[in-house]
């Protein structure tokens, strides 16, 4: 029989307060419970030690409190840690802790599977199964934040929504999760430490502008002409570069935030000087910084890593146009934790994930 109790983590602060008022409890109890859920990471009502036992019992009768558990954990030779979080029986999402000299970053997922079919991405081969809830997204951050402290004794500094799924197709839960992460009653992190990455959903980028979000936005671009981009990213057929340019200009006008372009560079596909010139022209639409990312091979993939001399020449052209450019070296490749590799090498079958 299906459990009919709602998940308490799906309630807003106002909803939670209304519940306590309706059940004759003092208002401050709502604040206490909220802090247990979102600040202290309680996994059970029994953990809420400053609540009366009777109230804890009432809450467990009225609500569920289900946190994702870690089903598997792998550590790379470079210190990167990949965690498989159990979302449903037989289904997982992956989150990655990425340590570098300057930052400690959590890369988190927003969906179980993915509805997009980007040809260079292992996750894109999975079926879209469901959206993650805000609580499940926060679960990943909480666990990876604790891991950063316990394993490296370094606080988590950055969060990137660049794991499995398309965040802007889970808009409500993603925004709720950033709210929980940045709230003083939650994890208290600065929104400027959060980056949400999208494959390019123009109308949702506009909505981000209307909502005047405070976090950073990254666009997975990978080609600056429609013919090439459509070959590797089906989403470009319904969200072409012109529509994206308009949406990005609107977003920047509303938020004032500099946008990041993510550009995976492939051998003999998008690594020429002409490709760099096209990118330089597109980058003039809004203030941007450009991350050139080395390609990470996936099983039976048709693309290869670009040669270092081509990458350097590509970056040099962009820099000659006064653009901010970073060449990103991938981490965690030996455990399939690098960009585009999540659910690679038959891990999907191991975890019960369905393929397209």
Per-residue model confidence (pLDDT) at position 350: 47
Q: Out of 94, 166, 262, 294, pick the active-site residue.
A: 94
Query: Are 252 and 118 contained in the same domain?
Result: yes
Query: Are 36 and 108 contained in the same domain?
Result: no
101-114 pLDDT per residue, tens: 889 999 999 999 88
- Counting as low any pLDDT under 50, the low residues of the chain are 338, 340-341, 345-346, 349-350, 356
Query: Are 117 and 182 contained in the same domain?
Result: yes
Per-residue model confidence (pLDDT) at position 329: 74
Q: The domain that contains 127 carries what CATH number?
A: 3.20.20.70
Identify the domain boundary among 20, 44, 62.
62
Q: Out of 83, 107, 121, 339, pick the active-site residue.
A: 339
Provide the domain limits for residue 56.
Answer: 8-62
Domain count, the chain: 2
Per-residue model confidence (pLDDT) at position 158: 98
Is the separation of the CB atoms in 197 and 220 below 8 Å? Answer: yes
Query: Are 149 and 56 contained in the same domain?
Result: no
Per-residue model confidence (pLDDT) at position 90: 80
Query: Are 37 and 117 contained in the same domain?
Result: no
339 in active site: yes
Considering the domain boundaries, does residue 206 fall inside one? yes
Query: Are 100 and 13 contained in the same domain?
Result: no
Query: Are 184 and 327 contained in the same domain?
Result: yes
Query: Are 147 and 270 contained in the same domain?
Result: yes
Contacts of 16 (CB under 8 A, 6+ apart): 8, 30, 33, 34
Query: Are 102 and 186 contained in the same domain?
Result: yes
Considering the domain boundaries, does residue 356 fall inside one? no
Query: Are 121 and 233 contained in the same domain?
Result: yes
Considering the domain boundaries, does residue 191 fall inside one? yes
Query: Are 35 and 104 contained in the same domain?
Result: no
Considering the domain boundaries, does residue 3 fall inside one? no
Query: Are 184 and 75 contained in the same domain?
Result: yes
Per-residue model confidence (pLDDT) at position 91: 87
Q: The domain that contains 47 carries what CATH number?
A: 1.10.150.530
Considering the domain boundaries, does residue 285 fall inside one? yes
94 in active site: yes
> Strand 91-99 to strand 81-88: parallel, antiparallel, or no bridges (unpaired)?
antiparallel
Considering the domain boundaries, does residue 1 fall inside one? no
């Amino acid at each position: 029989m299906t459990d009919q109790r709602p998940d308490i983590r799906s309630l807003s602060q106002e909803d939670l307060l209304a519940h306590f008022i309706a059940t004759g409890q003092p208002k401050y109890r709502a604040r206490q419970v909220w802090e247990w859920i979102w600040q202290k990471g309680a996994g059970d009502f029994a953990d809420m030690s400053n609540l009366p036992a009777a109230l804890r019992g009432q809450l467990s009768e009225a609500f569920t409190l289900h946190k994702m558990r870690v089903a598997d954990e792998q550590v790379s030779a470079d210190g990167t840690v990949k965690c498989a979080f159990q979302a449903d029986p037989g289904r997982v999402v992956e989150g990655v802790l990425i340590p570098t000299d300057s930052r400690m970053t959590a890369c988190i997922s927003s969906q179980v599977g993915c509805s997009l079919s980007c040809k260079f991405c292992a996750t894109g081969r999975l079926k879209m199964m469901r959206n993650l809830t805000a609580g499940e997204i926060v679960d990943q951050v909480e666990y990876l934040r604790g891991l950063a402290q316990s394993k490296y004794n370094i606080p988590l500094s950055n969060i990137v929504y660049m794991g499995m799924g398309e965040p802007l197709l889970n808009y409500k839960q993603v925004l709720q999760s950033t709210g929980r992460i940045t709230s003083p009653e939650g994890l208290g992190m600065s929104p400027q430490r959060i980056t949400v990455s999208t494959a390019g959903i123009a109308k949702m980028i506009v909505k981000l502008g209307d909502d005047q979000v405070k976090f950073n936005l990254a666009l997975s671009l990978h080609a600056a002409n429609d013919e090439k981009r459509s070959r590797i990213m089906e989403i470009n057929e319904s969200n072409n570069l012109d529509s994206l340019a308009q949406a990005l200009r609107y977003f920047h006008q509303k938020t004032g935030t500099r946008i990041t372009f993510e550009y995976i560079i492939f051998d003999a596909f998008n690594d020429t000087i002409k490709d760099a010139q096209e990118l330089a022209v597109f980058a003039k639409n809004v203030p941007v910084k450009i991350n050139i990312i080395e390609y990470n091979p996936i099983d039976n993939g048709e693309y290869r890593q670009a040669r270092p001399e081509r990458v350097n020449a590509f970056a040099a052209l962009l820099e000659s146009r006064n653009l901010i450019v970073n060449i990103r070296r991938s981490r965690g490749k030996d455990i399939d934790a690098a960009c585009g590799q999540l659910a690679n090498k038959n891990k999907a079958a191991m975890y019960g994930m369905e393929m397209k």
